A and B are shown apart, each in its own frame.
Chain A
Amino acid sequence: MIAVTLIVSFAIRLTGDPAVMLAQGAGSITEADLERIREALGLNQSFLAQYIGFLRGLVVGDFGRSFMGGTPVSDLIGRALPATLALAFASLFVSIVVSIPLGIKAAVSRGRWPDQMIRIFSLIGLSFPNFWLAIMLVLLLSITFNLLPPSGMEGFSSFIMPAATMGIILTATNVRLVRTTMLDTLRSQYIMVARAKGLSNTVVLYKHALRNCSIPLITYFGLQFGGLLGGIVVVERVFNWPGLGTLAFEAVSARDYPVLQGVITVLSLMIISINLLVDIAYGLVDPRVRKE
C-alpha cells in the first residue's frame, strides 16, 4: 500500500510541471508568477516533504485539494466512486452469469459442436480491444439504431453498453477458465459417484461439480477485478461515464497530483479489500480451508 502510493507520487512528478499547465492560456507569464503558483500548491517543497504531507493527510482521510478549482479530492472521489463500482460489478456480474453456464456446456460437450462454437466465440471476444468494441457498440446501437444513450449515466439503459463492453471481454477469458476447471472436476471420482446415485445431470453439474470448481474461479475473478479497474479507465472515457476512470484521465491531462494520488490510493485499497473478500469466500465454499 505504502509502496504503491510512493511509486505513484514519484512517477507522477516526472510528467512535468503542473504550474506550467495551470498558467497556460493566461497570456504572458513570468518566472516569478510560476514560482508563486508553485508556492501556493506546495510544489516548491522537496519530494519527500510533499509525500509526507500527503501521507499525513491520508491518515485523517484528507486527500488534499485539487489543483484545478480547489475542490477537496475526497469530494471528487466520493462522487465518482459509486459510478465506477456500479459499472465494475455490473460487468463482473454479466461475465459470471454468462460464462458459467457456457463454460459448463463447453466442458460437458467437449470436442463436439457446442464446445467448438463456444471456444470460437471466446477467441473472437478475446481479440477485441475494449475501446474498439465500445466504439462499435456506440456506432451500432446509439447512432445507427438509436436504441441506447451513447454516453453518461442516466438510468438502467445507460448501463447496458459499458457493462456489455467490459462483460464481453471478461466473459471470453472466463468461459475458458470455467471450461478447464470443469473438465478437471468432471474427471473426479465423486462426480462418477454422484451419477451412480442416480442424480440428474443438472444436480451433478451445478451442485456437485460447480462448488468444487469455485476455488480457482473465485481466485481468478478476484484477480480479474484489478484488471477490470484498469480497463474501466478506457471504457469510462468512451462512454463519458462519470467515474474514477474519467476523473483519473482528466487529472493526468492536467497534472493534478492530489486527485491522481487520491484515485490511485482508493483503487489500490479496493484491490486489497477484494483480495480479503476472496480469502473469506474460500472458507465459505470449501470446508477444507476453514480452521479446525
Chain B
Amino acid sequence: MTITPALSVRSLGVNFGSNQVVKNLSFDVYPGKTTAIVGESGSGKSVTSLAIMRLVEYMNAEITSGTILFHRDASGSQPQDLTQLSDKAMRKIRGKEIAMIFQEPMTSLNPVYTIGDQITEVLVLHEKLTQDAARVEAVKLLKLVRLADAEALLKRYPHQLSGGMRQRVMIAMALACRPKVLVADEPTTALDVTIQAQILTIMRDLQQELGMAVIFITHDMGVVAEMADQVVVMRHGEKVEEGAVEEIFARPQHPYTQALLAAVPKLGSMQGEALPRMDPLVVLDGNVARTLGESRQQDTARIDEAPVVEIENLVTRFDIRKGFFGGVSHRVHAVENVSFSIFPGETLALVGESGSGKSTIGRTIQQLQESTSGTIRFGGKAVADMSRAEKMRLRQEVQYIFQDPFASLDPRKTVGFSIAEPIRTHGLLHGAKAIRQRVNQLLERVGLSADQAERYPHEFSGGQRQRVCIARALASKPKLIIADEALSALDVSIQAQIIHLLMELQQDEGLAYLFISHDMAVVEKMSHRVAVLHLGQVVELGERRAVFDSPQHSYTRKLLSAVPVADPAQRRERTLLQGDILSPIRKVGDEPEHWPLVQVASGHFVAQEVGSAERLAS
C-alpha cells in the first residue's frame, strides 16, 4: 500500500517579473514526516514556501507553471490543485489546512495587538468559535507550546516577550486549527542555540502528536540533520538533489551538495586536536567539486611573547533612565569583572548567547565604548594613561570587522576609497600613487582584483563585501583584529572561504584575533583559546581542546549540547532545555554575584558554581 503524500509539488515555476526564481521544482511531503528544503541565499527556498501558501502574489511574483496538489486526507479523495484555486478558496486553506511559521519572531507578530487577540483571530475566523471559546482554546495552545502562565500571556503585547517566547506564540498560532501541513521558513535562524534547541524539540513533539506534514526551510545543515526525513537541496531556483536525510549526508551525489557539506563546520570534528586546523576548501568548479589547498595546523600563537592586549577586571554597565527627569532605576550589567589576555598570532574566541556581553567587550577594547572600571593594557601600557597620540596609534593597531558588511561600508564611496581611508587617517603612506598601489595590493591579498577598487559596495556580493572590510582592516597594519560575528551573515560556502582567508592572514602577518561568535562549530574550528561568557562574566576560559573536549561549567555543557550537529547518525533524543535566556538588566543596588575563576588544569579556568562544591564531593 502506498501512502498518499499530504502535499505534492510538481514542476513548480515562480517568476519575479521576467526573472525565474524557482524552476521546475518537484517534491512530496508525507503526513507525520518532514521534508527539508536547504540551500544558500538566492536558492529560491523561501519563495517556494510562499508559493505553497500562494502568498507570492503579494510580493509581485507569480506562479508560472506546475501544480501544488493538496490531499486533505489519506483516503484518496480528489486532491486540490492550490495553484488553480481562487483567492477566496485559498483563504479557507491558509491558516486552517496549511499554516506557516516565519523566520523573524521579532517582527512576525503585530506589535499593536495582544497575543490573545492574534491567536483567537484565527480560531474565530476558521473554527467559528465565539470570543470566549477561542480564548479557552488559546490558553490550551499556549500550554501546548510549553509556555507557562498562559492566561496572563494572552493580555501581553509582543514587545513584552523574548524572541523564543514569540516564536512559540507563532507556533501556537500556526497550530491553532491543527493544520495538515506546516510550512516553517527558517523558524530558528534568528534564535540563540539553547532557544533553538527548545523550539526544535517542541516542533518535533507536536508534529508527532498531530501527525502533520512539515516543510522545513533552512540553510543550516545541522538543523536539517536533526529534523528532516527527506531533504531537497536547491541552488539557483532548481533542485539539485533529493533523498533521505541519511543518504544525503553519507553519500551526497551532486557536486554542489558535496561542496556544501564540506563547507559546514561540524561540532566535535576537532576532537583531540590541540591546534586549529586550516582545512582545504572544496569549491565548485563548473560541475565538479574540487579540493583546493591542503590541511595545515595553525601553529601561529606566540604565547611566550608579551600579550598584545591584557584586560583586567573589566566592567561595563549601561544606565537605564526612566522618564524625562527620572533617575537611574536599572542597569545593564553588560560586562562584569572580565580578565583575559590575547597573545600575538593567537585567536581568542568569545562565545555566548545574546546579552552575554561579548560584543560589548569587543567595543570596549576598541574604545568605541567607555568602560565603567577595570584596565585595558596594550603593549603593557594602560589605555587610561595614554596620550592622545598613543590612543590614535591604538586605533591603528586594533581593527574591527562587523557582522553586516554592507552596513559597515559607505554606500556612496568606492571600496577603494574606503580601504584607503585608514591609510590616510593614520598617515601611513603619502602620495596618491603609493596609496593606490597599497589598496590594489590589499584587494589582491583578500582575493579580489585590483580593478575592483573603483566599484561601489552594492556591486559586490555579501562575501566579497566582507573581504573588502577585511582589506580595510588590514590597511592600517593592525596587530589585533576584533571580528564581531563577522561570519554570521554569510552563507556556509562563503563562510568557509572567509575562515580560510582569516587563517591564512594570521599565518602570514602574525595577526591576533578576538573572534566574537555565537557559532560553536566555527569557534571550534579556528580558535586557539576560548572564553565562554554568561551574563557578562567569563564562566570558562581555556585552550580550545580543553573547553570543547572536557567542558567543566554547566553552562558550557548546555551550550555545546544545544548545537545541532550536521550528522543525522548522531541524532539524539533530547530533553527539553528549560528556561529563557537570563537578562543582564538589574535594579540599581542589586549587584550580581561574582563567580571567581578556579584553575582546573593548566590554563583552564572555570567559574565556581553555586553548589558545585557539593556536587564535586558527591
Residues of A within 8 A of B (CB): 188-190, 192-200, 208, 211-212, 285-288
Contacts and interface: CB of A to CB of B under 8 A. Distances in A.
B96 A198 contact: yes
Contacts of B363: none
Contacts of B94: 195-198
Interface of B: 50, 53, 55, 58, 91-96, 99-100, 102-104, 107-114, 121-122, 125-126, 157, 159, 170, 173
A190 B58 CA distance: 13
Contacts of A288: 111, 157, 159
Contact of B112 (A195, A200, A287): A287
A237 B122 CA distance: 54
Given A189-B104, A190-B107, A197 B121 contact: yes
B92 A193 contact: no
B99 A199 contact: no
Contacts of A193: 100, 102, 108-110, 170, 173
Contact of B102 (A192, A200, A211, A212): A192
B173 A197 contact: yes
A212 B110 CA distance: 8
A231 B597 CA distance: 71
14 contacts: A189-B104, A189-B107, A190-B110, A190-B111, A195-B58, A196-B53, A196-B102, A197-B122, A198-B92, A198-B96, A198-B125, A208-B110, A211-B112, A287-B111
Contacts of B108: 189-190, 192-193
Given A287-B159, A288-B157, A196 B100 contact: yes
Contacts of B121: 197, 199
A195 B54 CA distance: 10
Q: Ordered nearest first, which 5 A-B pairs have the shortest CB separation?
A: A198-B95, A198-B94, A197-B95, A287-B157, A190-B110
Given A198-B125, A198-B126, 15 more contacts: A188-B107, A192-B55, A192-B58, A193-B102, A194-B110, A195-B55, A196-B53, A196-B94, A196-B95, A197-B95, A198-B91, A198-B122, A199-B121, A208-B110, A286-B111
A200 B126 CA distance: 12
A203 to B, nearest CB: 8
Contacts of A208: 110, 113
B55 A196 contact: yes
A287 B113 CA distance: 8
Nearest to B126: A198
Contact of A190 (B92, B99, B109): B109
A54 B259 CA distance: 84
A285 B112 contact: yes
Nearest to A200: B91
A197 B112 contact: no
A104 to B, nearest CB: 14
Contact of B111 (A192, A194, A198, A212): A212
A196 B159 contact: no
B273 to A, nearest CB: 42
A199 B112 contact: no
A287 B55 CA distance: 29
A211 B157 CA distance: 14
A239 to B, nearest CB: 40
Contact of A197 (B104, B111, B125, B159): B125
Nearest to A188: B107
